Homo-oligomer: A and B are copies of this chain.
Amino acid sequence: MLIEKIKTPGLSHLSYLVGSGGEAAVIDPRRDCEIYVDKARAAGLEITHIFETHRNEDLVSGAPAVASMTGAKVLHGPNSDGDVVYADTAREDDCFAIGQLEIRVLETPGHTDDHLAFALFDSAYPEKAVGVFTGDALFVGDVGRTDFYPDRKEEVAGRLYDSLQKILALGDQAIVYPAHGAGSVCGSGMAEREFSTLGHERLNNPRLQISDRAAFIRAKIEENHYQPPYFRLMERLNLEGGKPAPRVMRPSTVALAQLRKLDVDHVVDVREPMAFASGHFPGAISLPVGMISAFAGWFIGEGDSIALVASDQSQLASAMEHLVRIALDNVAGGYVGVVPAAAQGERMRSIPMIDTQEVARRLDEDGSDWTLLDVRDADERASAAIDKSQHIYVGHLNERWAELDRQRRYTLMCASGMRATVAAGWLDSKGFERVDIYLGSMGAWKAGKR
C-alpha cells in the first residue's frame, strides 16, 4: 500500500498516487504525466482510476493522457456548463475500490461548482477515514478561493463553508491531502508545511476558526485575488482535454544567428533577476525560471511564440517544463549565453539596481519626474507601503503599462526585488528607458528603519 505525493514546484501543485493490491489511483495529475504511470508500475501497481477534485484553472490536467496510457477511468464532478469530455461524472457517496483501499466521493462545491473531495478508507481498518483529498477546498492553513463566480460571490462562499463542514465531519483523525502548497496562485495564506490532519486544521487553520457562516462569507468576500488571463485557457483545455506533453521536455537549442532570425512574440529571459538586470537582449522580458508558473500567464497569451534565454541547459529544461504545464509552450528555441552573445557584438540593455539610501534620497528630493512604483499585491500593499509610492500589481502591468509615461523615471519595487525585476523587464521591453529596481524593496525599507 502506498500514497505518494508528487509535487510540482512553481505551481506548488500536489498530486497523489495511491495504491494497494496491484491497483492504483491518481488524484489531480499534471500534464507531464509519465511519472505516475512509471511510478505505479515500478511499484507493481496499475492505475485504474483518475480522480480530479475540480477543473483546474492554473495547470493543464494530465488525466486524459494517463487514461490513454493505462485505460483508467477518469472521475470528475458535475459541471453545469458541459461535461468534461474525457471523464465520467462522480456523485456524492460514489465509492471506488483500489485494492484494499476505498475512495468515497464528497461533493464540495465552493471554490468551483464541480469541486469534489475524496475520502480515503482502509477496508482492513475501517473505522473512519484515514485521509481526505481536499483539492482546492481546504489547504494547510487556508481554504480555497471563492472569486471565480463574481456574480455569485456570497453563494459560493457559503457553499464552501458548507463543504468544509462536510469535510470536517470526516473526523479529526483524517490526514489532509490538498492540491496545493505554499506558493500556489490558488491561495495566499497557505502554510509552508505540507502535512496536516482535519483535527489540526480544525484547531489551527485561521479560516476554520470562523464558526459563523455569515462571518465566513464576509471574510471570503473581502479577500483580494488575481486571475491571470491564462486561467481561461486552462479551463477550456481541462474541459476538452489538452494535448499530451512533448516527449522531450527541452526546447530546441538555437545559436545566436538563429535567435536573431526567430520572429517570436516574446523573448523570455529566465535567468535569475540580478543577471537580467545586469544585461539582457533588447526587447526581452524577465521571467526567472521559478516565477514562470506564477507570472507567465499574465504576460504570455495562448499560442504566443517564445524564445527562451537561459544561463545553462538545465535552466532551459526547467523553464520548458513550467511552460508545458500551463500550455504556454510554443517555444521556438532556447538560447544559452548572454555574455557570449555580447562578445559577438550583440548590444545588451541593463537596468540599474538602487538601494534604500537612494530611494530615500529621491523621496526626499521629491522630483516631479520620478515615480516609485509598487507592484506587490493588494494585501501586501494594504499591510504596509512607502508613502508617495504608487501601486499597480505586477500582473496588471500586462495591460496597465500603457497608462505609464515613457518619459518619466520609474523605480520598481515589490517585497524583495524579484517581482520588481519582472515588472522592470516588462516596461523595458515596452520602450521605457528610465527604469530602475529597488533591490531589497519593502524588506530592505523596513530593515532600514530599525
List residues of chain A with CB under 8 Å of any chain B CB.
1-3, 20-22, 34, 37-38, 40-46, 69-71, 100, 122, 124-128, 130-131, 141, 171-175, 191-200, 202-205, 244, 246-248, 250-255, 271-279, 311, 313-314, 316-317, 334, 336, 338-340, 342-348, 350, 352-353, 355-356, 415-418, 439-444, 446-448, 450
Q: What copy number does this chain have within its complex?
A: 4
Which residue of the partner chain, among B70, B128, B250, B347, contacts A355 with CB atoms under 8 Å?
B347
A416: B residues at CB distance < 8 A = 339-340, 342-343
A70: B residues at CB distance < 8 A = 252
Contact between chains at B339 and A37 (CB < 8 Å): no
Contact between chains at B128 and A203 (CB < 8 Å): yes
Contact between chains at B344 and A204 (CB < 8 Å): no
Contact between chains at B130 and A254 (CB < 8 Å): no
Complex Cα distance, B272 from A42, in Å, reads 19
Chain B's nearest CB lies how many Å from the CB of A164? 16
Known: A193-B130, A200-B128, A203-B173. A348 touches B355 (CB 8 A): yes
Please give me the residue from chain B that is nearest to A66 by CB atom: B248
Chain B's nearest CB lies how many Å from the CB of A30? 15
A198: B residues at CB distance < 8 A = 173
Contact between chains at A44 and B313 (CB < 8 Å): yes
Interface CB pairs A-B, < 8 A, 8: A1-B191, A1-B193, A44-B253, A125-B204, A130-B196, A171-B172, A274-B279, A339-B440
**Assuming A46-B253, A279-B439, A344-B443, what are 6 further A-B pairs, CB within 8 angstroms?**
A42-B250, A69-B247, A128-B199, A342-B443, A347-B355, A350-B353
Chain B's nearest CB lies how many Å from the CB of A55? 24
Contact between chains at B348 and A439 (CB < 8 Å): yes
Which residue of the partner chain, among B317, B353, B417, contacts A343 with CB atoms under 8 Å?
B417
Please give me the residue from chain B that is nearest to A3 by CB atom: B195
Which residue of the partner chain, among B37, B205, B248, B255, contacts A41 with CB atoms under 8 Å?
B248
Please give me the residue from chain B that is nearest to A130 by CB atom: B200
Chain B's nearest CB lies how many Å from the CB of A106? 18
Please give me the residue from chain B that is nearest to A128 by CB atom: B203
Contact between chains at A338 and B274 (CB < 8 Å): yes
A343: B residues at CB distance < 8 A = 415-417, 440-444, 447
Please give me the residue from chain B that is nearest to A20 by CB atom: B192
Known: A1-B193, A275-B272, A342-B439. A199 touches B200 (CB 8 A): no
Contact between chains at B175 and A172 (CB < 8 Å): no
Known: A37-B250, A127-B204, A348-B355. A418 touches B339 (CB 8 A): yes
Known: A128-B199, A344-B447, A355-B347. A22 touches B69 (CB 8 A): no
A244: B residues at CB distance < 8 A = 247
Contact between chains at A44 and B447 (CB < 8 Å): no
Contact between chains at B277 and A444 (CB < 8 Å): no
Please give me the residue from chain B that is nearest to A140 by CB atom: B125
Complex Cα distance, B448 from A271, in Å, reads 26
Complex Cα distance, B450 from A352, in Å, reads 29
Complex Cα distance, B203 from A2, in Å, reads 21
Chain B's nearest CB lies how many Å from the CB of A35? 9
Chain B's nearest CB lies how many Å from the CB of A319? 12
Known: A130-B193, A250-B42, A279-B439. A311 touches B272 (CB 8 A): yes
A278: B residues at CB distance < 8 A = 274-275, 277-278, 353
Please give me the residue from chain B that is nearest to A348 by CB atom: B439
Complex Cα distance, B130 from A273, in Å, reads 37
Chain B's nearest CB lies how many Å from the CB of A348? 6
Complex Cα distance, B123 from A192, in Å, reads 12
Contact between chains at A69 and B248 (CB < 8 Å): yes
